[in-house]
Amino acid sequence: MSWPPDRVFVTGGAGFIGGSLVAALLAQGSRVTVFDDLSGADDDWWTPSEAFLRPTDGSAPRLSFIRGDVRDLPAVESALAGHDLVIHLAAHTDIATGAADPSRDLHGGVIGTWNVLEAMRRRGVRSLFYASSGTVYGYPSRVPTPEDHGPLLPESYYAAAKLAGEALISGFAALNGWRSVIFRFGNTIGARSNHGVVHDLVVKLLRDPSRLALLGDGQQRKPYVAVEDVVTGMLLAGVKAPARPVSIYNIGTAGTLSVARVAELVIEALGLEAGSVEQRFQPASSGGGGGWPGDTPLVDFDTSALRALGWEPRWSAEDAVRRAARGTRERLLARGTPLLTASERRAGAARSTAGNPDDSRRAAVPAGHAE
Ligand SMILES: NC(=O)c1ccc[n+]([C@@H]2O[C@H](COP(=O)([O-])OP(=O)(O)OC[C@H]3O[C@@H](n4cnc5c(N)ncnc54)[C@H](O)[C@@H]3O)[C@@H](O)[C@H]2O)c1
């Protein structure tokens, strides 16, 4: 595949990582199709790339949007035809609710990935990037964990679905002569995220700066990485990863932060006195110190493979958290929408669409730009 690719198809491109990645792909000259059902996207997801969606200089738009569901193979197949590279980000990203209903990760994860791969096979598209996760390692017996560590024993349906996706990719790539790159992300953070620990802590502190409930015992340790660094790593791998069926890269900063430390950093970034915030830890009833059933309490991986390609994160984990916290506060206040944690927002959406699932498909793109 030549780089930059001309036509890129991004499933889940309206989400948090997708938004930054799509903007970077457009900036380097690619034409991008976002394929997303909007189930997890904010309604202003397209604004960073508006100039490419609605060019004012009379040129053809380089960004197009198709509202579609990866669980629908015919829809994926017809939308994906004619692209040079598929970037598969769409997934059911709520590990906690997935723990109560394993079918979400089966359909949104395993079958959605199967459909993307089968659509690529039918339409002769041979290059793929896949968003996997550091959670595929399960509770690691070796840290920092390198990409070739095994056996991989995930501890949630979400992580199991990610790993199943990796296995399917390996099979399709070997049999069809593809080049695929699998990225195992650490906790990716930034101002535009609408989920994850930094987002939720900022929401809680904006609602009540005197107390903070933390999921888990505070000792869960994970690598935190700025979304811009994740995007840089993915684009670099596009240029430099070897031309073989499957390459795998961990993406995260070196070392880990505990949730207790993340809370300290967020409190400080919001200008609050640590002593003025009463912190309460809430370990999940499933035990192990995690914040919810299926929370992997330790992700600590080796990123030397991506660094060997020349990647270096611009922000340390601590700086990434501070920056994400400040940016999240500014964005939430500017949007003026209700301050909701990810699980509250998802529960509200589920309640309001009960009985009519189509209502969850909000019109999130300016008229004339949704296909
Ligand atoms: N953010 C992280 O810390 C992190 C860490 C590890 C892995 N990942 C993976 O990276 C990818 C992107 O993560 P994110 O943080 O941007 O998540 P996100 O929830 O913000 O984005 C996911 C996007 O996929 C869309 N989507 C969900 N189900 C879909 C379906 N069935 N069909 C079409 N679109 C669908 C959602 O509307 C959303 O826009 C996901 O696969 C996630 O599992 C993220």
Full pLDDT tens readout for the chain, 371 residues: 789 999 999 999 999 999 999 999 999 999 999 999 999 999 999 999 999 999 999 999 999 999 999 999 999 999 999 999 999 999 988 877 778 899 999 999 999 999 999 999 999 999 999 999 999 999 889 999 999 999 999 999 999 999 999 999 999 999 999 999 999 999 999 999 999 999 999 999 999 999 999 988 889 999 999 999 999 999 999 999 999 999 999 999 988 999 999 999 999 999 999 899 999 998 776 667 677 777 888 899 999 999 999 999 999 999 999 999 999 999 999 999 899 999 888 888 777 655 443 333 333 444 333 22
Q: 282: CA distance to ligand 1 center in Å?
A: 26
**Ligand 1 atom 23: residue of nearest CA:** 12
Q: 104: CA distance to ligand 1 center in Å?
A: 13
**Ligand 1 atom 39: residue of nearest CA:** 15
Angle made by CA atoms 344, 296, 241, in degrees to the nearest 5? 105
Would you say 114 and 168 are in contact if contact means Cβ atoms under 8 Å apart?
A: yes
Q: Say which residues have a Cβ less than 8 Å from residue 162's Cβ, sequence separation at least 6.
A: 91, 109, 132, 133, 135, 136, 154
- Test site for ligand 1: of 17, 166, 346, most ligand atoms within 8 A of the Cβ: 17
Q: Which atom of ligand 1 is nearest to the CA of 132?
A: 7
**Ligand 1 atom 40: residue of nearest CA:** 89
Pocket of ligand 1 (CB under 6 A): 11-12, 14-18, 36-41, 69-71, 89-93, 108, 112, 131, 133, 185, 187-188, 196
- What residue ranges define each of the domains in the chain, with the CATH number in brackets? 7-344 (3.40.50.720)
**Which residues sit opposite 246 in a β-bridge?**
180
pTM value > 0.85? yes
Q: 276: CA distance to ligand 1 center in Å?
A: 35
- Test site for ligand 1: of 93, 185, 371, most ligand atoms within 8 A of the Cβ: 93
